[in-house]
Each structure stands twice: as C-alpha cells, then as structure tokens.
C-alpha cells in the first residue's frame, strides 16, 4: 500500500533542515513521514545522512507522495517550481489528473511571494498558507507568522502552526498585509540584535575591556535581559526604571540614548524594512 508522507519539502536548505530537525526532535513526525527534494547533492546528503529522511531530485515525486508540501526555495526560483507542479498536475490538455493540486496543502516561506501569486500559479483551488519565519529557527528559537489563503482551512492552519512551533513560536494572522511589518520586525530583527550586540562589545573595548570579554558580557546581558523581560509581569518602562537609579550610570546612558534619538532610529529602521518588503511584494 502506498502510504502518503505527511510533509514534503521542496528545497532542503538551512531553514528546511531546521524545520525537519525540530519536527523530529520534538516527535511531531517521524523521519519516515518526511521527504525532501533539492538540486544540491550536499543538501540531499545532509537530509539523508543526518536526519534519515528520504531525498530526491524530483519535485514531482515530493508532490505525488506528500499530503502537504512546504516550499523552502528562494523567491527568485519559486515561479519555475510552481510552473512545473502546475503543468504536471494539470496536463497539457488542462484536465486535472487524479490527486491534483486542489487536494493539497502548500506552505510557502518564500519572502515576498504573495498568497495571490501562489494560488494563481497552483490553479486557484489549492490550499495555501504563507509564512514568514526567521533565522533563529535554526537554533530552536524562531518566531514565525502565517496567513492562510482563501481555500485553506483551520485544520490547515493548525498543521502549519505545529510545524513552525517545533522550532520556536508561531502565530496566525488574518491580514496578509501585516506580513510586511512581521518581516521588518522579526524577519529582519535578528540582524538588528547582532548589530546592537556588536555595538555594545565595541563600546566596551573602547573603554578598555578585552574584545572576547566584551562580546561575552554583551551577549549574556542581552540574554539575561530578554529572559527577565519575558518572565516579569512588569512593563518595559517599569523594568527600565528599576535599573536606572536616579543620578546613576544607567540614567546617564539612557539620557544620551534619548538625546541621540535611539527610539526614533529603531522606528525609522523598522519602517524602512517594512516599506522595502511592500516594494518587493509589488515587484513580484
């Protein structure tokens, strides 16, 4: 009996690997429930050797053997993938073959590729969910937001949430337009934190600390503050007040940050990223 895989990956890059590993380590799926395709032999070897997942070069094999398909390919290559799937499923005469695209769930993490574009390429009846994950998923600390298309069901949404919660946290949104803000905040956000950590460490070095120690202290400070903020019932402003004693060192630093427009700089950066995300969506 031909038993369908629960999930197939088209594209076996770093994010697909992180998701597959999270699903296996959290016992959401077994290796036998998964299949992955990729043109890169090294990526196929990684999935087969380290994760024990069946691999192939054939995207159509993934389509035919899986109940749900996750697109983990670059935005600039997804059109060719979608075209191949649509042609194979519909046939040259336009008559859908048995088990066509309408019966499948497709989950896409291709940045900027809209639900409309995905649904249109897949024949208009496919169940489609668009997701914006972020890089910390590769260490099990990801944050993802997803939006379901017009044909996707609540069960489809629950399935997708289960996938992305295996590598961190995930939320469902109703408005696809909000994914531009998600991209700007959590999608691009890790780079902002890396820059802040580097800036803290560089400033420590300028004050005489050894570089290795300065970076170690910066990273531990960020991690500790995040943990405290997440656990505390207090608002951020109250946590700041507790640390910033009147006339003390923290107050002096905060005054300088305020004078330099720190909050405005962050707001402008997020706005710029969100606007660029909207531009990329229009171009695609």
Residues 40 and 118 occupy one common structural domain: yes
241 plus 159 within the same structural domain: no
Q: Are 79 and 43 in contact (CB under 8 A)?
A: no
Structure-token pair, residue 159: 């399935």
Nearest 5°: the CA angle 222, 224, 225 is 65
162/212 same-domain check: no
The parent domain of residue 232 ranges over: 189-281
Q: How many residues does the chain have?
A: 284
Cα–Cα distance for residue pair 35/12, rounded to 1 Å? 10
Q: Tell me: do 146 and 271 sit in the same domain.
A: no
pLDDT at 252: 97
Q: Give the DSSP letter of residue 114.
A: -
Same domain, 198 and 107: no
- pTM value is 0.89
Average pLDDT over residues 171-189: 96
| Domain final residue, candidates 124, 143, 175 | 175
Confidence of residue 94 (pLDDT cuts 50, 70, 90): very low
Are 107 and 229 in a shared domain? no
Instruction: Report long-range pairs for 42-50 (Cβ below 8 Å, ≥24 apart).
Output: 43/12, 43/13, 43/17, 44/12, 46/12, 46/17, 47/12, 47/17, 47/20
263 vs 241: CA distance, rounded Å: 16
Instruction: Name the DSSP letter for residue 73.
Output: S
For 95-146, the pLDDT digits (tens) are 444 456 888 999 999 988 999 999 999 988 899 999 999 999 999 999 999 9
Structural domain count, the chain: 2
**Residue 96 · residue 58 · CB < 8 Å:** no
Please name which of 155, 186, 153, 180 lies closest in space to residue 279, comparing C-alpha atoms.
180
Give the pLDDT confidence score for residue 284 in this predicted structure.
60
Classified as helix, coil or strand, 144 is strand
pLDDT, one tens digit per residue, over 228-277 is 999 999 999 999 999 999 999 999 999 999 999 999 999 999 999 999 99
Q: Report the distance separating Cα 118 and Cα 93, nearest Å.
A: 22
Q: How far apart are the first and last CA of the chain?
A: 41
Residue 145 falls inside a structural domain? yes
For residue 236 the two structure tokens come to: 């951020």
Select from 125, 153, 175 the last residue of a domain. Answer: 175
pLDDT: is 279 or 216 the higher one?
216
- Regarding whether 276 and 206 lie in a shared domain, the answer is yes
One domain for residues 68 and 194: no
Q: Decide if 1 is inside a domain.
A: no
Angle at 160 between CA 164 and CA 134, to 5 degrees: 35
178: which residues sit within 8 A by CB, 6+ positions away?
Answer: 145, 147
Residue 244 CB-density burial (10 A; 0-12 exposed, 13-18 middle, 19+ buried): middle
């Amino acid at each position: 009996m031909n038993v369908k895989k629960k999930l197939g990956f088209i594209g076996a890059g770093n994010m697909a690997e992180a998701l597959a590993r999270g699903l296996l380590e959290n016992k959401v799926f077994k290796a036998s429930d998964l299949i992955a395709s990729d043109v890169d032999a090294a990526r196929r070897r990684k999935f087969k050797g380290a994760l024990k997942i069946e691999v192939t070069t054939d995207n159509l094999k993934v389509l035919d053997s899986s109940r749900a398909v996750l697109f983990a390919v670059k935005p600039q290559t997804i059109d060719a993938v979608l075209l191949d799937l649509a042609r194979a499923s519909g046939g040259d005469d336009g008559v859908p073959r048995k088990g066509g695209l309408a019966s499948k769930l497709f989950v896409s993490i291709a940045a900027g590729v809209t639900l409309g574009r995905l649904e249109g390429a897949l024949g208009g009846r496919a169940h489609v969910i668009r997701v914006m994950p972020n890089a910390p998923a590769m260490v099990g600390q990801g944050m993802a937001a997803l939006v379901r298309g017009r044909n996707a069901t609540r069960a489809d949404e629950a399935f997708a949430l289960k996938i992305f919660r295996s590598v961190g946290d995930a939320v469902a949104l109703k408005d696809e337009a909000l994914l531009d803000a998600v991209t700007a905040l959590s999608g691009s956000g890790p780079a902002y934190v890396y820059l802040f950590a580097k800036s803290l460490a560089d400033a420590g070095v300028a004050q005489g600390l050894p570089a290795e120690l300065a970076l170690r202290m910066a990273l531990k400070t960020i991690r500790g503050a995040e943990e405290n903020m997440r656990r505390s019932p207090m608002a951020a402003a109250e946590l700041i007040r507790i640390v910033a004693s009147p006339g003390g060192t923290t107050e002096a630093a905060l005054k300088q940050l305020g004078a330099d427009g720190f909050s405005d700089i962050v707001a402008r950066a997020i706005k710029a990223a969100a606007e660029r995300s909207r531009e990329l969506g229009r171009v695609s």
